[in-house]
Amino acid sequence: MTHDPGSHDPGLRAAALEALGRQPDRDLIDRVARAHLTDPDPLVRGVAAGLVAWLRRPGYVDALMPLTTDPAGDVRSVVTLRLGMGRDPAAVPLLQVMTGDPDDRIRRSAVLALRHLTAG
């Protein structure tokens, strides 16, 4: 897979990432997904962010932090929802940032995720 937007259809890149997520080598999935966090297409960035958040490999919160200001609300939403589902206390700083998102649905998701994470 490549970052060259002219070489592949974004839908195909996203589908390839989703398929990659079904194979057993989690280190490979994480490396490839992180490489696509900066893909020019928001669909691909969203799928990549979902995989990185799901895998929770070391440094995943730092890898996702730049997406808190992604221009695509759907990408920011994926980050917030996946981190909330992961219930990992390491995600608290990123979710706190998301409580200030300009999109109300993302702010609400971040607040709910933080409640779940901080409720004993």
Q: What is the pLDDT of residue 87?
A: 81
Q: Are 106 and 73 in contact (CB under 8 A)?
A: yes
Query: What is the total count of domains within the chain?
Result: 1
5, part of any domain:
no
Q: What is the pLDDT of residues 80-89, one digit of tens each?
A: 999 888 888 9
2, part of any domain:
no
Residues 27-50 have a mean pLDDT of: 97
Q: State yes or no: pLDDT of 94 exceeds 60.
A: yes
1, part of any domain:
no
What domain range includes position 22? Answer: 10-118
Question: How confident is the prediction for the chain on average, in pLDDT?
Answer: 91
Q: What is the pLDDT of residue 58?
A: 95
Helix (H) or strand (E) holding 88: none
Q: State yes or no: pLDDT of 7 exceeds 60.
A: no
4, part of any domain:
no
48, part of any domain:
yes
The CATH code of the domain that includes 99 is 1.25.10.10
69, part of any domain:
yes
